[in-house]
Structure formats: C-alpha cells, structure tokens
Structure 1
Amino acid sequence: PDQPVAICLARSPAMVVGLLAILKAGGAYLPLDPAYPSARLRQVLEDAAPPLLLADAAGRAALGCDALAGVSVVDLDTATPAWA
C-alpha cells in the first residue's frame, strides 16, 4: 500500500488486470507506454523510483536492460502458467 508501481505493458487485458490489481492493493500505478522513446521512459522511471515494475516483452524491450537494473521486475510473460 501507498507505493508507486510502474506498469509498462502493451495494451491488452493483462494491462487492465494489472492496473486493477495495483489499485486493489492500495498502490498507485505509474503508466509507461512502450511506444514512447526509451530515453523518456528511463527518465520517468528514475524520477518516480518505483520499487516494482510490471512488464511484458514489449515493455522490457522499450525500457532496455539499463533501466531494469534498479527495480524489481514482475515479468508477466513468465509469471503466467503455460496452461492459463
């Protein structure tokens, strides 16, 4: 609760579920659009300094490895079981 959580996902039902989950947990979400330039996404991520990031393949590719080093990343591609 009371923590910002960054979410960098392609538009999908998973994005809506992620936003609702963050709000239900009492957090604040920081939306990051994977279509934005990488430098801008890194700047927003550094300024907000969220402790957690929800991302998919498109989000990880948009942010790059450098931006992901200082934050805990929940990869929604690997967090979803194969049978789901």
Structure 2
Amino acid sequence: MRKISLNFLEQKAKEIIRKTLGDYILPDDIFSQLALGTIIDGDDRVFVLFIPKELAKDAIDILRVRMNVYSGEGFVEYIGLERKE
C-alpha cells in the first residue's frame, strides 16, 4: 500500500481542526499565537495545534489530530479547550 503525502495529510488535518474549533471557545489573543507542528508516530502523523513558548517543553497543546499515512483517515485525539454552550 502506498503512503499518502504529508502535505495532503496536513491539509485534511487542517480541515478537521477548523471544523472542530467551531465548537470550542478560542479567545482572539490565543488564536493569533497558534502554530501547527507534526509528530511522526509509526504509521500515523499527529498534527498538533499549539501555543509556542520560549522552551519547547512549555508549549501548550490546544488540539491534536492523528492521521494515518495509508488510509488518510484522521480523528481528533485531544482538545484542550472549553466547549461552547
């Protein structure tokens, strides 16, 4: 089976992130600070939306989307935000 490109997986992850964030409270001052990183975990690529800090260990994870490199399927595995009522 052929692997799906990282660029394609990232675009799908961004779609999932946009759709998911609509249900959560994300203050404007935090929104402007967000960055997206990628973690390689076996056959998965985990796209992490986070607030960067001076030291990497102090970064604050906002949302994680796990994408499979073979199927292209993805799911949100962590959300560090308060849900809208």
Same fold (TM > 0.5): no
If the length of structure 1 is used for normalisation, what is the TM-score?
0.29
If the length of structure 2 is used for normalisation, what is the TM-score?
0.29
Higher normalized strand content (fraction of residues): 2
